[in-house]
Amino acid sequence: MKKIINNAQLEKHINGLYEKARPILEKDSIYEPLGVIFNDTKPFNFYTSYCFVKQDGYHEVFYDTRKAYETVVKDLDEFTYRILATKISNLVIKYMSQHSFEEQDRCRVFFEKELEIFGAIGRKFVKRKKEEIKKTGYPLD
């Protein structure tokens, strides 16, 4: 396993990558802050993810009103992808709700928009997203 970075480095890493997508998100009028809290204390508001680092890996905890859901990932790239993919999917849903795609394949529009945003962040994330889409059986090409 690669060396685990600390909380401050994790925040800088993920926010830095997310900021690369900002021009596209602003162009499409869907930009909003990442909305992830980077520390290991329970957030004050529900429905917020918070991330922190421990010796066993990278943790994401999400609270709803009844329960906490925690995921631990050892690989930084995998963890980063998971955090960004969740936010990007939510923003693409927002994008889809703001536009009419009557004559278009909505799945294609959705997946292509996700790939466009990931393209601004980095090739390895595009590759990962394409693998994920391929598993759905949807033909992108």
Domain ranges (residues) in the chain: 7-134
Give the pLDDT score at 46: 62
Question: What are the average pLDDT values for consecutive 10-residue runs of the chain, which has 141 residues?
Answer: 85 97 97 90 70 93 82 95 96 91 85 97 97 90 71
> Which pLDDT score is estimated for 48?
76
Whether 104 and 74 have beta carbons less than 8 Å apart is answered as no
CB 66 within 8 A of CB 81: no
Strands 57-63 and 68-73: antiparallel
Would you state the pLDDT for residue 42? 65
Q: How far apart are CA 63 and CA 42, in angstroms?
A: 9
Q: What's the token pair of residue 44? A: 């004050």
39 touches 50 (CB < 8 A): yes
Give the pLDDT of residue 104. 83
For residue 50, the model assigns a pLDDT of: 87
131 contacts 77 by C-beta, under 8 angstroms = no
Give residue 62's pLDDT.
84
pLDDT at 19: 98
